[in-house]
Structure formats: structure tokens, C-alpha cells
Structure 1
Amino acid sequence: MTPQTEVIRPCGNMETYSTARHSLGLYRCVAVTGRYALPQGISTLSQAKQLLQDAVAQVVAEQPFMQVGIADEDKQTSSFVRVPQINLSNHIQWFPPSHPGSGSGPDFNTGASGPDAILCKHLSHQHDQLWPELTQRPPWKISIIPTQPSQGCEPPPEIEVLYFFHHAISDGTSGSIFHRRLLHALNNPSPSTTHHLQPNNILTLPTPPTLPLPQENLVNGRISWPYFLRELWSAFGPAWLKPKPAATPWTGEAIRLDTPFHTNVRIVAVPALAVSNLLAACRAQGLTLTPLIHALVAASLARHLPSETAPSFEPSSAISMRRFVRDPTLDIDNKMCVLVTSTSHPISESLTTALRDSPSSSGPTLETAIWTVASSVKTDLQTRLTSLPNDDITAMLRYVSDFHDYFRKKDGKPRGNSWEVSNLGAIEGSRSSDSQAEVEGENGWKLTRAVFSQSAGTVAQAFCVNVAGIAGGETTITVTWNEAVTSPEVVEGLAGDLEVWTRKLAEGESL
């Protein structure tokens, strides 16, 4: 950090967790991709480019975390620093038009196949990149891919906007906030923002940003002595004094810090009608979509992995902590920041066996076994949500004295979880009614699809399952993994099962 660098504030515990991972090369970025339908009246691609750049500048001007860099990632005292000018040319990259249906057959170098092959390749590439010049450039990037227009037609009917960001400046929910605010900016351009956007694509930010406080300051949770001692024992108690589990959950290959970093991406699209029917089926069981997805993943892995390798599973769910923020000065629904935790869901050997044996005539039907596992996950989630924000694992990060050493000590150890499900929920894709300009008429930009993805972390779970949708529209289930940790055959089998099973459950068919 140079003497003239202006520190905005030190990184908090969760933020330092991410800066340390990035500085060690163990995790790179999160992404939320939105597909935008262009309104009538845009006649050329160059016009669309200018409108999008102006809208991005408008979002940057209102989001403090898009205005800062990071200093001293390799130290415990990492900080967010001011970046008074942002060259948008370094952050926004346009690619040639591609047809959404281009690409066929699996590509095991990226996990790409079928209709989303091009998108998967873009996501895979960027999820493997480290953020450069962190003190001078805010760690976010936008890749834009126009869809291939019909012959002789310009501009393209839709545009994919891929928003990538360092996990220290935003969580997954922040990615959906970016697209909601971008949609608002496209339909409600602000002249005041363009005054600070120079012809050479330099956005000037005349005043230092005021960042939201770290999670430990915004969420008022306490740690009980029983929880504290239990976590302490789990982390530092001698193994020979701990009872051996009945079955060791499958968590992929052990952690190796020297594993080549590579993220494969596979997208499973669930059409709007199927989503509606799936949600109805979940409600009939007293469930939501997240527990069902966990159960479907467990059922697939039970089919594709032998009982000797995978006698049981222990996945996790990401949980947003925004509901626990009580700061009236923070517009929590519209401000990007990091407010997230997770909880684990042990799927016992007996439940896993039921999934594995369900095709036999003597066992339960596969649907029954899946709903039973989903109900178990739902109970775990409800129990955790009832206790939060107290006894939260993220609050224990205050006792980590050296985050870099914390990650280095994981080398050679088993992974903590089998997989993670992170569900953004549904993003409103039509124009909101928070301004007169949006109320008048239906001709405006619209968000028609969302894809949520993240890097395959070296010290993370065996693979990630990220879910996002558009209200009333399609939902996507995106799987990211490193082939050195989880075999492509297992993930391709999972993707195929998710495609078939979500369709059959939506149509009321037997699995």
C-alpha cells in the first residue's frame, strides 16, 4: 500500500476470510449473469453499448463497494481503499454475438454442453482468474455477450450480462441486487451520473464512499458457552478422544493446496411452467425448493457413487444474514455487501441407503426417499434459522489470528462438506413501479433469465450448486466443480438426473 492510498476501512472478519483465500489463490470470484431483452427503439448495437455503459456507471455511483479496491491482501490487516477514478474499459468487456443454442455435446474442459456451451466457457474462464491491481481497480468485471440476431437484424434481441466480483466486496445476494439496480438504471437513466463519466470511459468519483459496516457489526448475535466449547473441541480436540462417526460422509478428494485451479460449469435450465409445478409440489410437502434440490443431488450421487465411497453425505446451505440487520440507516435490500453464513445438513447412512436402494421392488419409491431427505434438510434449516443470529459459525472467525495460516493448515485434510446449495431465489425481471417512467407503458428493458455461479474453491466443498430464477420465469441450477476433486462423470450424471427428475416431478410422473 502506497503512502497516498486512502483507506476507507479495514476488512471485517468475513471479508478478510475472502481476501486471504484470494491472496493464496484458493478462490477467485462469484458471478450472477442476467439476460436482458432490449426494448423497442434501440436500433443499433452501438446504441445498446452506450446505454449499458451509462447504466453501469449509474450503478457504480450508488454502490460503495463497487468504488473500492483492496490493499494488503497478503496481510492480516487488509483494507478497503478508495479508487477515485474508474476506467470502465478495464471493467466492461464486449464479446462477439453468439447464439444461445450454439455448442453441442459435453466439453469436459469447462463442463459446457448444449444450449449454454458458450456461456459456460465464459464463466469457466473468468472463475479461474485472479483480480489484478487490487489497490487501483475495484475487483469486479462485466462481460457482455449479445445473442446472435436474425439474419439482417440489428440490434440483437437479447444480451447476456455476466457480473463477476470478489467475494470480499459482495455476497451472492449482492449479485442479484446489481442486476435489479442495473435494470432500474437502464429504464431510469440519471443525467447526474453521466456528468462524471468522461469521453474516455473514465468515471470520476469525487467523494470517498461510505461503506456498510462489516457483518460482525451489522448482525447482533451472541455466542453461548456450550456452542463456543463445542466448536473449540471440534477444531482442536485430539482425534483419539473423539467418537468415530458411524459413517464418514463423502466429500470428494482431500484438500490439496497444490491442486491446479480450474472451474467447470454446467447449467441445468428448468422452464417456467416446470418451476411453477415444482414449487406447488414442494408446498404440498410443506417444503421449499432448496431442500428438494439437496435431496435430488443426494439421490443422484447415491446412484453414481458406491456405498463404500459414499455411505452418507453432509452438504451445506448458504443463508443470507440480511434479515437480521437492524441498522435503519442501511438500505439492506438495495446495497451490496457481505452478509452470509452457512449450515450443514447431515444425510445419514440410512437415508442414503434408502436413496440408493429405492429402485428395488422391496424398498421405498425414489420419490418417497427424496421427499424424506428433503424433509430432513428442511428441519435442519428451520432449526438453524430459529437460533440465528446467535451461535453462528461466522462469529467464531473473530478468534482466527491468522487467516492465511488457517487455510494452509487445511492441506491434506478432508473437505468440510459434500456440496453447497446457494439459492438466490427469484429476481423480479420486469420493470419495477418505483418511478413514473416505469409505470408508463410496457416498452423497456426486461430481465428474462438469471444464472448464479462461483469458483470451484480449492479448500471448499466438493462442488457447488447455485440456484437463481426470474419471478414467473425460468430457474437455473448451476453446478461448478474442479475435476481433480469431483469426477466429470459424476457431475454430468448429476446434471442429467436434475434435468430428468425436475421435469418428471413437475409433470407428476414417477421417477
Structure 2
Amino acid sequence: MSSNMIDRLRSKKSARSLNDKDKVLRKLSPVECLQAAHYSLGAIIGCAISCRYRIPKALLTSDAAAFQVIVENALARAILQHPLFTVGRINTDSKKQYWVRLDQIDLKNHIEWRTVSDQEAYESILHATLEWQVNEPYTNLETQPGWRAAILQSTDSNFIDVVFAWDHTAADGKSGKVLQDSVFTCLNTPDDNAVIFRDRVFEIPNTELTPPLHHLIKLPVSLHFIVGEFGRDIIASMKAKELPHMATWAPIPTEPSKTSMVAMQVTKKALKPVLDACRQHGTTLTGLMHALIAVSMAKRLAEIKASAFLCGTPVCLRQFQKPGHPSIDLNKTAINSVAYWPFTFDEDLVAKFREQINDAETQRDMSTGLEATVWSSAKAIRDGLSAKLDLGTKNDHIGLAKFVKDWQSFVKDHGKTRSYSWEISNLGVIQGKAEGEGDNWAIESATFTQTAPTFGSALTFSVISAKGGDLTVTNTWQDGVVEEELALGVSSDVEGWLNELGNTGSIRFGAVEMSS
């Protein structure tokens, strides 16, 4: 008997035995299967969100063990609010994977505490922790939920950093923000003894698993759309390398590569004027960032390498929840609920960028033309995203997911060439401030980051801010696939331009050498 057949029999036996014990909850939804395929291929590990929590003064003198219990109790209560963070996943190498009920969670397998004595090294250690989280695969997914947390504290500091990381199969980027919102609320809410610990182990109540996305949101597709998209898919696969926007400068690696990360900051002083300028120009921060990244890419990559760019924006679908599940508020639920919206900076626009970049570099007062083009591009992106949202979920690619039966083959077949040069995932603002002026926990800053996908965008920008704080943007890329000089250069450009816009009201596009 072949080893593959033995593995299949084992998988079936595992599913049956679990089903006999009422452990099998449901099959993965089509959207979850897509993420699971990326995970199985090592193409995407997951996401991570770090929040810096200011500790109430009353707890600063707490015994270390007692303080740990308070934080872990809040985290456990938060986890129990999100069923997809309490389940296991079986048959992970099969076409039919299942979520299974777990009886308990042992925090020894999920939470690491770390005290950093070298204050000068603290930020670099936090950075390394975030980078590790989006590179390290999860273990024992059959018996442990796919999440983990690292809690960092500097000696004698008045804050902790809670780094929450999770397998993208279970939930999207906003889900991590929702989880941190839950942690914040639980920290500021008296313990109701809902969670009983025994040596850092707590029981999971028998609650209903979050339904699959297509049970919560209508995803209708017309026959005309289905035929048109499959036709386009065939043509694109035949002519992929001929399309001007293809990111051939970032080839698909034969094996998954390590994700590297750089973080950028837009100061809270500069952030409000930037957002005001976006509103005045009929766009959003996401639209402006796309346009600025395009300018930086246009001047850092030679035309022979990139004559056009395709970029992507994950769009949250939670607002389209249909009636029928009154107990579920998707805006407060961990789930995969995003569609992907593309935008092309075509050859004419990129050529215009390059011409205006040259003018700005050779003549002192010629940045205004490029700035105007940036704003018009940013507005076009905002208008496109608004039109997408006005259409709702009808005839979206996510509605075609139900037709795919073998997701690993699908991902590999569609991942032979890279289409997207970059994407921007913008989670917006995490509140993190309790009502009133009492001695409460508060979120002072936040950082969001993701695995750089093997088959997806060459650069992945992740955006978040805490209320009243700086804006943090991370950029991730694959080592050996994207040149570090390019990734760091684009990041530096965007950070500098956004802060300059916020501080001076305009952007001067300085000289940058193009790579060959």
C-alpha cells in the first residue's frame, strides 16, 4: 500500500473518530480553504498585531506572578469571544479540511513572556519578535488553535507590548484588531470568573462556531460574470509575461523565502494634516499611499524592468452582513471577510511619473506638477474603491471560490508569475482609550504586519494607528526575491513624503538614483 494511500486512510479515520465524539464542527469554507492552501505551501504564515498597553498606576507595583495572571485572564476571556481562535484544524494536507472542537487551551503553548533589561535594545527586540511571528509556522494545529502571543516588558517600564499573531486560515487582518479590542475591554472590565485556570490551562465552553462567510454575506455571481472571468483567466495565463504590469522584477521563488520587515512612522503631529489634505483632494490615506508608492517605484525601478504597476487593496466585506444571524456582529467577529480590489498604474501614467520626477530633480520648483498627478491618481483610487463598495458583493471574485475543488493546485497554477507589485492593508484606528478619566489600561501605539506572500504582492504594506498616536506602516518582502535596497528605499520615500506633507503642506520630490 502506498504512503499516500496510508495518509488518506489515516485522515479519514481521524475525521471519523473525531466525528464520533462530536468534535468535527464544519468544513473549511472556500475562503478559508484558499488561505489554508497558501499556508500548506508555506506561501503565507499569517499576521501579527502588536499593541502597547499603558499599565494602570495601581498595578505597577504588582507582584510579577499576579500581574501575569491578570493579563492572561483578560487574554483568555478575549479569545473565548472569537470561536475561530478556539478550534483545531484537521486533515491539513487534504482537499477537505475541518474545524474541530477543542476541550481546553494551555497558555504555556501559546503565550511567551519576556522581560527586556537592555532598554536601548527594546525596540529592535520588538521588531524582531514581529518579524519572527510572521515567519514561524504554527504547530499541532489539530490540537491547538492557530494563534500565539508574545508579551514584552522593559524593566521598570509602565507599559507592556502584546504581540498577537495568528494563522490567516482562521481570520483576516481586521480580526487581529478586533481581538486586541477585546483584550483592551477585558483588561478594563472586572474579572467575572468566566475563565477558571489550572496551571495556565482553561476550558473552552461548548459554543457555536462562527458560520462560513457565505452564510453571513451574500456572494452572488451571474453566469455572464462566471464565463467572462474564466475566459479572462485563460487568456491571462497564456499571455501573463506579455502584460506590462507583471512584476517580473520579483520572480516567484522555487521555495518560500524568509519575510523581512521595516517599520515607518507618521508622527501624530503630521498625521492629522495629512488626513485633512486627503479629504480636501477627495481621497483617502490608502489612495494617497498607493500613489506615493507608485512614484517611488517608478523612480527606483528602470522602465525596462517596470513600465506599469498593478497594486491591490484588501476590502473588508463586514458591512454587507445579511439578516439571519442576530447573535453575530461581523464588525466584532474574527473571520476571513475580505475581497481584493486591483488598480493599475498604466504605462502612460507611469511614464508621466518618470517625466515629472526628472523635472522635479532638475528644476527646483517643478514638484508641483508631480504632486498634482499624485493627488489625481489618489482620487482615482478612492473613486474606484467607492464604486467597488457601491456594487456590494455582487460579481466579486470571492463568489467564484465555491467552484474551486483543489486549492493547492489552484494556488500553484496561478502563482507561476507575479502580477501585483504591492498591496496596502489599512486597518485604520484602534481606539484603546477607556471612557472617563480613571486609572485604566490604554493602548498608546499599534503595529500591524503580515507574511510577505510567495505568490502575491512583491511588497506588502500594513497600516494601523492608535487613537491619538502615531501612524505605523510596515513593509514586508521576501529575502532574495525583492532587493533590500528597493524595499527600504520605497519605505523611506513614503515615510518622508507623508511626514513632509503633514509638516509643510506639500511634498518636494527629491532625487533618488534608479536601480539598473
Would you say same fold, with TM above 0.5?
yes
State which of 134, 137, 146 in structure 2 corresponds to 1:127. 134
Q: Deviations over 1:210-260 (max 9, x none)?
A: 122111221113112332122101222486699965x3343642323x334
* Runs of 4+ with deviation above 4 angstroms: 98-101, 238-245, 361-364
Separation of aligned partners in 2, 1:249 and 1:242: 7
Identity of aligned residues (%): 26
Closer, same or farther in 2 for the Cα pair 1:127/1:100, shift >3 Å? Answer: farther
Task: Show the counterpart of 2:384.
Answer: 380
Determine whether 1:254 maps to 2:261: no
Determine whether 1:225 maps to 2:223: yes
Q: Deviations over 1:303-344 (max 9, x none)?
A: 111111111111000100100012433122222111111110
Shift of 1:443: 0.7
Task: Show the counterpart of 1:399.
Answer: 403
Separation of aligned partners in 2, 1:349 and 1:238: 18
Q: Which segment is superposed worse, 156-165 or 40-49?
A: 40-49
Task: Show the counterpart of 1:334.
Answer: 332
Task: Show the counterpart of 1:188.
Answer: 189
Separation of aligned partners in 1, 2:233 and 2:291: 28
Q: Deviations over 1:1-55 (max 9, x none)?
A: 5314611111101111111221222211111111111111111443432211110
Separation of aligned partners in 1, 2:307 and 2:441: 49
The secondary structure found in structure 2 opposite 1:444 is coil
Shift of 1:273: 1.5
Closer, same or farther in 2 for the Cα pair 1:355/1:83, shift >3 Å? Answer: same
Separation of aligned partners in 2, 1:510 and 1:424: 25
State which of 115, 131, 145 in structure 2 corresponds to 1:138. 145
Shift of 1:468: 0.4
Closer, same or farther in 2 for the Cα pair 1:501/1:337, shift >3 Å? Answer: same
8 Å CA contact 1:259, 1:484 repeated in 2: no
Q: Deviations over 1:385-407 (max 9, x none)?
A: 12221011111111111001112
Shift of 1:100: 6.9
Closer, same or farther in 2 for the Cα pair 1:123/1:192, shift >3 Å? Answer: same
Task: Show the counterpart of 1:96.
Answer: 115
State which of 422, 429, 434 in structure 1 corresponds to 2:432. 429
Matches within 5 A, 1:274-353: 274-327=270-323, 328-353=326-351
The secondary structure found in structure 2 opposite 1:315 is strand
For structure 2, the 5+ residue unaligned runs are 1-10, 509-516
Closer, same or farther in 2 for the Cα pair 1:240/1:130, shift >3 Å? Answer: closer
Closer, same or farther in 2 for the Cα pair 1:243/1:130, shift >3 Å? Answer: closer
Determine whether 1:170 maps to 2:171: yes
Matches within 5 A, 1:45-56: 45-56=64-75
8 Å CA contact 2:447, 2:464 repeated in 1: yes
Determine whether 1:27 maps to 2:34: no
Separation of aligned partners in 2, 1:261 and 1:239: 24
TM-score normalised over the length of structure 2: 0.88
For structure 1, the 5+ residue unaligned runs are 104-115, 434-438
Shift of 1:61: 2.2
Number of positions where the alignment pairs a residue of Structure 1 with one of Structure 2: 480
Q: Deviations over 1:427-478 (max 9, x none)?
A: 10201x4xxxxx5x42110001111111111111112000001123211111
8 Å CA contact 1:98, 1:145 repeated in 2: no
Determine whether 1:201 maps to 2:200: yes
State which of 416, 420, 425 in structure 1 corresponds to 2:423. 420
Q: Deviations over 1:167-206 (max 9, x none)?
A: 1211111111111110110010332223x221x1111124
State which of 62, 73, 77 in structure 1 corresponds to 2:81. 62
8 Å CA contact 2:458, 2:482 repeated in 1: yes
Separation of aligned partners in 2, 1:237 and 1:169: 33
The secondary structure found in structure 2 opposite 1:425 is strand
8 Å CA contact 1:255, 1:410 repeated in 2: no
8 Å CA contact 1:269, 1:475 repeated in 2: yes
Q: Deviations over 1:66-108 (max 9, x none)?
A: 11011111111101111111101111101222667638xxxxx
Task: Show the counterpart of 1:109.
Answer: none
Task: Show the counterpart of 1:469.
Answer: 465
Separation of aligned partners in 2, 1:397 and 1:285: 36
8 Å CA contact 2:248, 2:305 repeated in 1: no
